[in-house]
């Protein structure tokens, strides 16, 4: 058997195995965990001091998935004063008080 054929014989099953294994955490698995995705986005927004985004994302989580294990944690996070004061979204609260992000300052 030629060397190129031997390499193909070895690589094709390896490629098939990798393809099957990589699909185990594909979109169908993530689709079942939208509440987790929302919670992670809110946590990331909080870490980035994007308090308005965190508030809106947590509110979405609570309203969309009230029975989720993350809903109670989201309610606790909403008690954080930095997030709570940005809850009105379209209130008279200047964006600079909610999101100290320089990109958000031009919106005030």
Reported as a single tens digit per residue, the pLDDT across 58-77 is 999 999 999 999 999 999 99
How far is the C-alpha of 30 from the C-alpha of 40, rounded, in Å? 13
Percent of the chain with pLDDT over 70: 52
Q: Is residue 7 part of a domain?
A: no
The residue ranking higher by pLDDT, 102 or 35, is: 35
Instruction: Check: CB of residue 58 under 8 Å from CB of residue 78.
Output: yes
Distances (CA, A) of 11 to 14, 25, 49, 76, 89: 5, 23, 47, 51, 54
In a domain, 70, yes or no: yes
20 within a domain of the structure (yes/no): no
Residue 22 belongs to some domain of the structure: no
Higher pLDDT, 94 or 54: 54
How far, in Å, CA of 11 to CA of 18, rounded? 10
Report yes or no on 21 lying in a domain: no
- Looking up tokens 């946590």 gives 43
Range of the domain at 53: 32-105
Does residue 77 lie in a domain region? yes
Q: Specify the number of domains making up the chain.
A: 1
Whole-angstrom distance, CA of residue 77 vs CA of residue 40: 12
How distant is the alpha carbon of residue 85 from its chain centre?
A: 22
Is 27 within the bounds of a domain? Answer: no
7 vs 32 pLDDT, higher one: 32
Q: Does the pLDDT at position 31 exceed 70?
A: no
Per-residue confidence at 108, pLDDT binned at 50, 70, 90? Answer: very low
């Amino acid at each position: 058997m030629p060397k190129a054929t031997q390499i193909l014989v070895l690589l094709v099953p390896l490629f098939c195995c990798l393809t099957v294994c990589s699909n185990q955490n594909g979109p169908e698995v993530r689709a079942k965990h939208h509440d987790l995705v929302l919670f992670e986005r809110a946590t990331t927004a909080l870490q980035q001091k994007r308090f308005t985004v965190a508030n809106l994302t947590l509110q979405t989580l609570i309203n969309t998935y009230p029975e989720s294990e993350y809903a109670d944690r989201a309610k606790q996070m909403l008690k954080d004063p930095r997030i709570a004061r940005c809850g009105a979204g379209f209130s008279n609260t200047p964006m600079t008080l909610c999101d100290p992000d320089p990109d958000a300052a031009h919106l005030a």
